[in-house]
């Protein structure tokens, strides 16, 4: 598949967006590095090219020229004053002992940081640096804040690079941006997402006096120019959306190994299991959904294979809806090829349950999810295959 690249500008809803799109992939398809771009300079180009999904705080100039062909590119932009304030707030409350910047700004007030030219060299025009910056030579393990502070910016290159992005989202229009994402990739409606890495109470543009706002805008003059261009491009991309959803090519049956699931539907990234192939945990929500462009008109059998669980009682309490209508499940315990135990859940779906067009929705519901000891995720059941025949 064509590689995907998300240019994650700090404090631009990127962590929320990443949590969404990670769900589409299997874990080993996702570039493991995210926060620092300097170590990637030492990666062989062929290693960088083998990951279908690259996302992180990586400048355009450090990633895109190294890929074999132009990737499908995503970026979120934000009002430069709000971006600056949120970025400053994050850095002043989090201490990183190996970064000189932390020693300058940790615990400092906004007024103190606005008087600190060394700190401002890092914070200013951060979006422009990411889209059109040239960065100094540095060792992979060097303090990365120096590279950001010493970057030079070509605003014309930044504006040109921005126009190349297939998807431009705005933090201020996050939900509308997701509607654009659905049409771009061909997704069913994103049902849920969780806001992540949100700064706690902080100063906002509306809290500041006009003089301070003007100072921040002057410090970030290139970002102001870039954001205005992003707003125009966002409007054009929104206007280009078709007024109606395109007609989906329909299939008669489904054999789904869960290599891909649609984001925002209650799944975690897939995992590659040595015996079962791709497996997927459902969570953190108690409802996980699958969507298929199935033809209407006849009854079918649904078969779901479960390979792991956080609590076996969840298998008994599992229930299923097809396009919002409940179906009766039959459960049986089986032994897989590797002699491990699992469950098969089946249901007959009446012909009248299918919608005449568009996506057919299979919803799998449990009463709750569980966070097992030593696990950061809220999990319920782990699936490996779904068939509809």
For residue 193, what pLDDT is reported? 75
pTM beyond 0.85: yes
Write the burial class of residue 134 (CB in 10 Å: 0-12 exposed, 13-18 middle, 19+ buried).
middle
Alpha-carbon distance of 238 to 202, in angstroms, equals: 31
Alpha-carbon distance of 125 to 117, in angstroms, equals: 13
Alpha-carbon distance of 18 to 6, in angstroms, equals: 8
Alpha-carbon distance of 96 to 74, in angstroms, equals: 28
Residue 105 has pLDDT above 80, yes or no: yes
What are the boundaries of each domain within the chain? Answer: 4-239, 254-388
For residue 389, what pLDDT is reported? 96
For residue 244, what pLDDT is reported? 60
pLDDT, tens digit (0-9, with 9 covering 90-100), for 222-235:
999 999 999 999 99
What's the CATH code, domain 254-388? 2.60.120
Instruction: Report in angstroms the alpha-carbon separations of 152 from 66, 123, 158, 226, 361.
Output: 20, 13, 11, 15, 50
pLDDT, tens digit (0-9, with 9 covering 90-100), for 335-383:
988 888 999 999 999 999 999 988 999 999 999 999 999 999 999 999 9
CATH superfamily for 4-239 is: P-loop containing nucleotide triphosphate hydrolases (3.40.50.300)
Cβ distance 255 to 387 under 8 Å? Answer: yes
Provide mean pLDDT across the span 237-261: 84
What is the CA 318 to chain-centroid distance, rounded? 28
Q: Which of 359, 334, 360, 361 is CA-nearest to residue 345?
A: 334
> Strand pairing of 287-292 and 325-327?
unpaired
For residue 35, what pLDDT is reported? 92
Instruction: Report in angstroms the alpha-carbon separations of 235 from 168, 171, 175, 338.
Output: 10, 14, 14, 54
Alpha-carbon distance of 158 to 185, in angstroms, equals: 25
For residue 196, what pLDDT is reported? 61
Q: Which of 248, 247, 266, 249 is CA-nearest to residue 258?
A: 266
For residue 167, what pLDDT is reported? 97
Q: What is the DSSP string of 248-312?
A: PPPBS-EEE-SS---TTSSBPPBEEETTTEEEEEB-SSSEEEEEE-B--SS-EEEEEEEEEES-T
Q: For 318, what's the count of Cα atoms within 13 Å in the CB-facing half-sphere?
A: 29
For residue 197, what pLDDT is reported? 58
Residue 18 has pLDDT above 70, yes or no: yes
Q: Which of 142, 26, 14 is CA-nearest to residue 77?
A: 14
Instruction: Report in angstroms the alpha-carbon separations of 10 from 97, 108, 123, 216, 331.
Output: 20, 20, 10, 17, 47
Provide mean pLDDT across the span 126-136: 97
**Sheet of 325-327, strand order:** 287-292, 360-365, 319-322, 325-327
pLDDT, tens digit (0-9, with 9 covering 90-100), for 189-248:
887 776 665 666 677 888 899 999 999 999 999 999 999 999 999 999 988 877 665 567
Alpha-carbon distance of 379 to 371, in angstroms, equals: 6
Q: Which of 270, 285, 291 is CA-nearest to residue 185?
A: 291
Alpha-carbon distance of 59 to 56, in angstroms, equals: 9
For the chain, what is the mean pLDDT? 94
- Residues 280, 35, 199, 234: what is their CA dihedral angle, to the nearest 10 degrees? -80
pLDDT, tens digit (0-9, with 9 covering 90-100), for 277-336:
999 999 999 999 999 999 999 999 999 999 999 999 999 999 999 999 999 999 999 998
């Amino acid at each position: 598949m064509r590689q995907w690249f998300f240019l994650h500008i700090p404090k631009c809803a990127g962590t929320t967006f990443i949590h969404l799109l990670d769900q589409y992939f299997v874990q080993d398809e996702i570039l493991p590095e995210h926060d620092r771009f300097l170590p990637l300079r030492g990666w062989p180009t062929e290693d960088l090219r083998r990951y279908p999904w690259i996302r992180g705080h990586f400048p355009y100039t450090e990633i895109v020229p190294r890929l074999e062909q132009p990737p499908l590119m995503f970026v979120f932009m934000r009002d430069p004053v709000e971006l600056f304030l949120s970025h400053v707030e994050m850095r002043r409350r989090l201490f990183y002992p190996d970064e000189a910047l932390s020693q300058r700004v940790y615990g400092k007030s906004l007024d103190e940081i606005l008087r600190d030219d060394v700190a401002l060299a890092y914070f200013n025009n951060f979006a422009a640096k990411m889209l059109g910056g040239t960065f100094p030579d540095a060792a992979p393990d060097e303090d990365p804040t120096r590279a950001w502070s010493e970057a030079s910016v070509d605003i014309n290159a930044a504006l040109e690079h921005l126009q190349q992005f297939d998807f431009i989202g705005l933090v201020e229009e996050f939900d509308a941006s997701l509607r654009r994402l659905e049409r771009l990739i061909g997704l069913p409606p994103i049902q849920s997402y969780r806001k992540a890495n949100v700064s706690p109470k902080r100063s906002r543009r509306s809290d500041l006096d006009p003089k301070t706002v003007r100072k921040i805008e002057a410090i970030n003059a290139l970002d102001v120019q870039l954001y205005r261009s992003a707003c125009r491009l966002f409007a054009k991309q929104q206007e280009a959306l078709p007024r109606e959803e395109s007609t989906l090519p329909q299939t008669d049956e489904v054999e789904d190994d869960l290599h891909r699931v649609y984001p925002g539907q209650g799944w975690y990234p897939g995992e590659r299991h040595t015996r079962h192939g791709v497996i997927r945990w459902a969570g953190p929500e108690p409802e996980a959904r699958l969507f298929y462009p199935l033809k209407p008109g006849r009854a079918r059998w649904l078969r779901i294979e479960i390979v792991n669980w956080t609590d076996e009682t969840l298998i008994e309490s599992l229930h299923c809806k097809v396009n919002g209508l409940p179906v009766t499940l039959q459960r049986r315990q089986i032994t897989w090829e590797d002699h491990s135990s699992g469950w098969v859940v089946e249901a007959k779906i009446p012909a009248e349950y299918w919608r005449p067009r568009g996506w057919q929705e299979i919803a799998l519901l449990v009463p709750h999810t569980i966070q097992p000891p030593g696990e950061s995720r809220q999990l319920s059941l782990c699936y490996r295959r779904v068939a509809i025949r």
